[in-house]
Structures are given as structure tokens and as C-alpha cells.
Amino acid sequence: MFTTQTYVARRKQLAEAVGHGLIILPGNGEAPMNYAGNPYPFRQDSTFRYFAGLNQPDLILTINAETGESLLYGDEATLDDMVWMGEQTGLDELAQRAGLQVGGNLQKAVDTLCLSEVVHYLPTYRDARQMLLCQCLNEDDRPSEKLIRAVIAQRSYKSAEELAEMDRAVTTSMAMHRAAAAGAKPGMREAEVAGMVEGLAISAGGRLAYAAIVSRDGHILHNHAHHNVLREGDLLLIDAGAETPSGYAGDITRTFAVGAEMTAKQQAVYDIVDDAKRRVIEAIRPGVPFRELHDLSARIITNGLKQLGLMKGDTAEAVAAGAHALFYPHGLGHMIGLDVHDMEDLGEDFVGYDEEFQRSEQFGTRNLRLGRRLEEGFTITVEPGIYFIPILTDRWRAEGKHTEYINYDALAAYRDFGGIRLEDNVVVTADNCRVLGSV
């Protein structure tokens, strides 16, 4: 597990990279659900947790980039708090655990912020944090690109301790998928399976890393409705991952036929996706641009769909034109770590792209979150899929789009097929990669 020295070293590295000014990293507060006293499960800000390790709400960390001085701010608990919530760890002890000095209460943090000439802060994703920063910043202040890049430069490379947590997240996630595959029966509602999956993430001491997808409508990419009744032979797509107690995410997708062997038609599509996943994983190594691996997966899928008579023409040309995106309209994968889309709050293009690789503007490929060359220590998802999306098929057909690559007539037989996605998480090693959860 992570030691106090880990956090001290991380902050030192960050201060050196930023060099000048005051870095402010506010932790998250409680997020009200239907009234202030009934919050959602607390979720710490990932960057705050990375640099301070503390999982309590309403804390603020500041780092003086010149001196490295790191201060923790927070309000102390009252006796009433302790009667209701149990003994609360004092600010002193929290600071000590993280190797920090005590800065004072939250108001003092705001005062300090207001007095600082150069403040480095990250983009906000919760209104409360925006309102906190608004108390002190000028209208033309912007999140610090220097800080964003420095944080990404650290969090992108996972340490051995972090990889142990990632393995744990994936191992729990795989247990969730095994339970779902064993438990899903014809006649059940999708919600029943979703409850099994989410219950196991909680039983492991964490929670889900993101809202689970448990759907016989696998072609609806982000479908969080779970009201369908499962029928024998339905393809059930489950995209679900555990978050460990220390905050690391798993992100695993499996697709299976409910209460039955797959039909030959289902198996044929499954095999294409499985082949794409396997061959991408075999091709992963430091230096390979993820954008090229995405294109590789698109070509494997296109070739497979040609064999099924659903696509036609030259594979490379079809992929270059973006015709495959009718069936595969998302990206091959993304960074994963303390966030399931790691550091997405800092800006996807900062995380996944660079001067060498910019985001495509083409439908489908523009959803690829990661394009840059892989490096040792990156943890990423590999998640190809094939979907039959009636609303998109109808639109493209009506527009006469990519008729040289797509056999629209043959697609009629797949209208109710649904979708298949298969997803693993891997760490890029010195020579190739290792599938996480496999130790």
C-alpha cells in the first residue's frame, strides 16, 4: 500500500515541475442527492487523493511550488459530529498521515488563495469547487495548463503499488462478471443482474467505478436503463468495473447469451470482436501509437464483417473512410487508473493526444480518447465492439453513406442482433503488456 513517503515524493515532483506560484488542489465535498443531508456515496477527487491520499470530504491541499511547502486545510469536527459520525480523525493526524503541515480551517485556505499572486488550479467538474475558486479568482483566470500537464505527466505512469491496486480492481471486476454470467437467467429483469454486479463491488469494500451497463440492448452504447426482461438466448452485454477502497478502477466488458449457447450467428460476430481484442493486446508495446492499434482493430472488424457479407471493398480504404464506424462507432480504449477514464477532468486531449497525434474529426474515430504513443507504465483499456444500431443504419442508408463498403440489404437480418463488446485492462510493460487481474 501507499506510504506517507509516496505522497511526499509525488508532491515534490509536482512542485518541481510547476516551479512557481501556489498550487491549490481542493478535495471533494459531499454531493447532495435529494436534500443536503442525504448525499451520494462520497467520492474523493482523484488528483487530491493521488497527492494527499486522504479520503475525507472538505479538505484542501496547497503546495508552494517554489518551497515545496504543502499545507492541509479543513474544519475540525464538533462533539455533535462525533456522536452522529463516530470519532473523527483530527486535522493534525490527517496531515501527519500524508506528510503535510496543518494550514488551518477552510476559511483560511480561501484567505490564503485570495492573497496569492500566482495560483495554479485544475479544471473543475463540480459546481461547489467552481464556487470556492470564484471567491478569489478574477474573471479572466483560467485553469493552469502547466499544472494540468504536470499532473498528467505523473499520473500517467503507474507505480508497482498502483498496479497492485489495479490488479485488485480488475480481479473484483472479473468476479462480478462471473457471478452475472452464472446468475443471469431467462425471465429475470436486467436490473436483477445489475444488482448482483453492483452488490459485489460494494461487498469488496469499494463501489462501482462507473454506472454499470447491463443490457440486452448492447447496441445502445451507454444504456443505463435496466428494465428489460431477459429471454433465453438474448445477448447480454455487461460493462462494469469495481473501484477499490483506495480508489482505483477496473473497467471490464463481457457479452454472453442468456441461458444458452450462442447461436452460430452470434458466435461469428463474437469471434471477430474477440480476435480484435486478442490481436491488439498482442501488438501493444512501448512506442506503438494507440491510434494505430485503434485502426488495427477497425481493420480486423471490417475484415470480419466482410466475411459475414455485411461489408465489402478494400479494408484499408473502408477504415480510412470511416465506414466501419457504423458498427464500431467508439474508440478502442482509454487510460484507466484512479478514474475509469483516467484524468478526463483534466481534458481528454491533454491526456490522450500530443503534438504528434491529434484527435480525428471523423465520426467514430473522433471518440477515440487516446491516440498517442504508449509508454511503459501506462494502464489502458482494450475494448473493441460490433453493434447493430438501427437508428444509425437507417440514417446512413437514407443518406446513401458508404454504399461502396456496406451491404445495407444484408443488414436487415441483424436489425435485432444488439451488440457485442469485449474489454480487458492492460499495463504496458518494457517489452509488451500484461493483462491486469491475471496475477
Q: Which stretch binds a second copy (CB under 8 A): 19-27, 224-232, 250-258, 294-302?
A: 224-232
Out of 106, 175, 196, 288, the residue judged to bind a second copy by CB under 8 A = 196
Residues 6+ apart with CB under 8 A from 75: 58, 105, 106
User: Is residue 78 packed enough to be buried (19+ CB in 10 Å), middle (13-18) or exposed (0-12)?
Assistant: exposed
Which candidate, 297, 296, 288, places its Cα nearest to that of 374?
A: 288
Out of 17, 181, 220, 257, the residue judged to bind a second copy by CB under 8 A = 220
Q: How many residues bind a second copy (CB under 8 A)?
A: 65
Q: Which is nearer to a second copy, 131 or 268 (CB)?
A: 131
Distance (Å, whole) CA 85 – CA 376: 43
Q: Which is nearer to a second copy, 135 or 267 (CB)?
A: 135
Q: Which residue is listed with cell 517554489?
A: 66
Which string of x and - marks every residue 20-39 that binds a second copy (by CB under 8 A)?
-----------xxxxxxxxx
| Residue 320 interacting with a second copy (CB under 8 A) | no
Cβ pair 244, 261 in contact under 8 A: no
| Residue 203 interacting with a second copy (CB under 8 A) | yes
Q: Which is nearer to a second copy, 273 or 346 (CB)?
A: 346
Range 86-125, binding a second copy (CB under 8 A): 86-87, 125
Q: Which is nearer to a second copy, 68 or 199 (CB)?
A: 199
Q: Minimum distance between the CB of residue 217 and a second copy, rounded to whole angstroms?
A: 7
Which candidate, 74, 95, 89, 104, places its Cα nearest to that of 4?
A: 95
Q: Minimum distance between the CB of residue 109 and a second copy, rounded to whole angstroms?
A: 18
Q: Which stretch binds a second copy (CB under 8 A): 96-104, 159-167, 312-320, 334-342?
A: 334-342
Q: Which stretch binds a second copy (CB under 8 A): 151-159, 186-194, 257-265, 312-320?
A: 186-194
Sort strands 101-104 and 70-74 into parallel, antiparallel or unpaired: parallel
Residues 6+ apart with CB under 8 A from 425: 166, 170, 250, 251, 252, 336, 379, 380, 381, 382, 435, 436, 437
| Residue 199 interacting with a second copy (CB under 8 A) | yes
Distance (Å, whole) CA 24 – CA 132: 11
Range 246-305, binding a second copy (CB under 8 A): none
Q: Minimum distance between the CB of residue 28 and a second copy, rounded to whole angstroms?
A: 8
Q: Minimum distance between the CB of residue 323 and a second copy, rounded to whole angstroms?
A: 16
Q: Which residue is listed with cell 513517503?
A: 5
Q: Minimum distance between the CB of residue 305 and a second copy, rounded to whole angstroms?
A: 18
Q: Which stretch binds a second copy (CB under 8 A): 62-70, 159-167, 197-205, 302-310?
A: 197-205
- Helices 145-155/4-18 angle, 10° precision: 140
Q: Minimum distance between the CB of residue 279 and a second copy, rounded to whole angstroms?
A: 26
List interacting residues with a second copy (CB under 8 A).
Answer: 31-41, 43, 45-46, 79, 82-87, 125-128, 130-131, 189, 191-196, 198-205, 210-211, 217, 220-227, 245, 329, 338-341, 344-345, 389, 391-392, 395
